Amino acid sequence: MRYFVVLIFFFVFLNAKNLEPDFNKTAALKELFEISHIEKSYNKMIDIATKRVIAKKPILIYGKKEIKEFYKKYLSWKAIEPEAIKLYAKYFTLEEINELIKFYKTDVGQKSIKIFPKLTLEAQKIGYKMVMKHKDELKKIMKKIDERVKKELDKADADE
């Protein structure tokens, strides 16, 4: 029985260790995050998210302080960084991370960091314009889907 417990412990330890990035990868990712100013970008994103939440429900302006505190507590970069490290470690090898570090140390890399948020915003605007340009067609599609769902629900009710 004792050997069985040791074997289970060993198995759990190995699997837990495999879930965590190794020290070199973690250190490299922290350097990548620092060089790419990810914390600053992330904090801007959180500010934008806060504004969007309040814009959707204007009454929340009275709770803006509490919303920001909530985000700071649970969604701050400090809170998210360990998970971000795991996420990046899942998709990038140490060699790839080091290549990204080299890139972000270049002028073009730094420029890409500054421009990427603008590119993303402009791409979203282009997408929005395209949808609005064809909104009547989209409305027809949505109506057909709604009708199809309604028929399926009616059919399910009849089967009961």
Structural domain contains residue 7: no
pLDDT of res. 18: 52
Q: Which two tokens stand for residue 117?
A: 């948020």
Q: Which of 6-15, 26-35, 120-129 has the lowest mean pLDDT?
A: 6-15
Structural domain contains residue 18: no
Using CA atoms, how far residue 97 sits from 17, 24, 62, 100, 104, in Å, is: 20, 10, 43, 5, 11
Quick one: 33 and 91 in the same domain? yes
Structural domain contains residue 157: yes
What band does 48 get if pLDDT is binned at 50, 70 and 90?
A: confident
Structural domain contains residue 125: yes
Q: Distance between CA 7 and CA 14 in Å, rounded?
A: 11
Quick one: 101 and 37 in the same domain? yes
Q: Which of 11-15, 69-73, 129-133 has the lowest mean pLDDT?
A: 11-15
In the predicted model, is pLDDT for residue 80 greater than 70? Answer: yes
One-letter amino acid for residue 30 of the chain:
K
Domain containing residue 140 = 109-160
Using CA atoms, how far residue 149 sits from 146, 154, 156, 159, 160, in Å, is: 5, 9, 10, 15, 17
Q: Which of 105, 122, 152 lies at the terminal end of a domain, its last residue?
A: 105
pTM more than 0.85: no
In the predicted model, is pLDDT for residue 4 greater than 60? Answer: no
Quick one: 58 and 118 in the same domain? no
Using alpha carbons, select from 14, 151, 30, 139 the residue that is nearest to residue 82.
Answer: 30
